[in-house]
Structure 1
């Protein structure tokens, strides 16, 4: 069984969904502390007037457990964000279809950030025909430790034989801990094929909404699954 583990990023990029699709089980990491350099957990990169810009949920700079991050009570940021998305993608081929979904997702009411972001991820998984079994670490109600030991213990919780890691973790992941528990570490090798963007040259790593507005669900599914 191949297992991958990741924080519930906000409107993540295609590689996030490729990792889920490439796994038999996926675990949302919500009990780790939010990083000081929060680049993608609560932010998402889009193209706006051919320039890269971030969509950001105003959660402040609290470095607490992800599962304890509360959603802002003020709803104005949702309207402002929808207006930014509307302006950025109003000329795209799949604008009408995708904007309806984005508005519904942005207006979803919940108490915690992880619930908000996971709802988005589940919605897109369904529309992209990704059927991987997903779990939340907090639902196991156990202390799994820190760093690589946490990952190993989570893998053991779902009887993983292989752990699928992002290539960026290769420089700091402790593979020896995995070897001791007879879990093979494999690395994701995903480089998305270029698709039509509103830019002079293809920019990789943008939010899933960029490919959806430009290509629609069917083409995005093929790009994610390398079909």
Structure 2
């Protein structure tokens, strides 16, 4: 069984969905601290031929060190972010080939009603996965009992709970996971790393901008082509 564990992010990039498609089960790590100005709360769109970072407004109810991701709430008092992103998409993506075909589907996903950031992001990821015909199983770390430890120990405990034999990690986690290799080996769990090679695709406007959120790919290439484009970047390496 191949398992991946990632924080639920907003409008994730292509590599995130390739990782979901590659594994048997994908665990949303929702029991860690909120990291402000992170992919948990923002991601890139292409606006006026430039990279634009769109952020979700969150309530500042506790200090960052005390705020757990699953408990973070969206602030609807600051501004109507659903109307804002819909206006941005309409203004900047309406001339893409598949905008009219996908606008209603995407707006329905973006209009999902919940007060919690984590649930909003998870719904977005699940619904886009359905559009892409990705049938991986999903779960949340908060649904598991007796999880202990930090970083590598936490990841190992989730792997043991799920009885996986292969843990598939983002390449950026390699440095800290190297410290836990012996523990994983003792439990007969192999670690592989995703070294995603971002593909190019037909993109509206001048100059291709890489590593934007998934919405850019969907509007430019449509559902059928998007899945194949995502898979073109697939590359995994053993530890």
Same topology, TM > 0.5: yes
Q: Which of these residues, 101, 109, 116, is aligned with residue 112 of structure 1?
A: 116
* Deviates most, 186-195 or 68-77: 68-77
- In structure 1, list runs of 5 or more residues that go unmatched: none
Measured after TM superposition, the shift of residue 18 of structure 1 is 0.3
Question: 2:237 maps to what in 1?
Answer: none
- Is the contact between residue 3 and residue 167 of structure 2 (CA under 8 Å) also seen in structure 1? yes
Counterpart for residue 12 of structure 2? 12
Secondary structure of the corresponding residue to residue 216 of structure 2? helix
3-state SS of the aligned residue for 2:113?
coil
**Could you tell me how far apart the structure 2 residues matched to 1:32 and 1:180 are?**
26
Cα deviation, residue 199, structure 1 = 4.1
Query: How many correspondences in the alignment?
Result: 226
Aligned counterparts, 1:180-195, within 5 A: 180-195=186-201
CA apart distance, 1:106 = 1.9
Aligned partners of 1:45, 1:199: CA distance in 2, in Å? 15
Q: Describe how 1:115-154 pairs up with structure 2 within 5 A.
A: 115-154=119-158
Q: Which residue of 2 aligns with 1:45?
A: 44
Q: Is the 8 A contact 2:147 2:157 kept in 1?
A: no
Mapping for residues 58-97 of structure 1, pairs under 5 Å: 58-59=57-58, 63=64, 64-74=67-77, 76-97=80-101
Deviation of 1:60 (Å): 5.2
Q: Deviations over 1:47-92 (max 9, x none)?
A: 1011001111011565211000012233622211211122121110
Calculate the aligned-residue CA RMSD, in Å.
1.7
Give, in whole Å, the separation in 2 of the partners of 1:60 and 1:115: 15
* Per-residue deviation, residues 16-51 of structure 1 (Å, max 9, x unmatched): 000011101110000011125x32111011110110
Residues 147-202 of structure 1: per-residue CA shift (max 9 Å, x gap): 01000000111111011011111122233332232211101132132101124333
4+ aligned runs moved over 3 Å, structure 1: none
Identify the residue that residue 53 of structure 2 maps to in structure 1: 54
TM-score w.r.t. length of structure 2? 0.89
Contact 2:59-2:73 within 8 A present in 1 as well: no
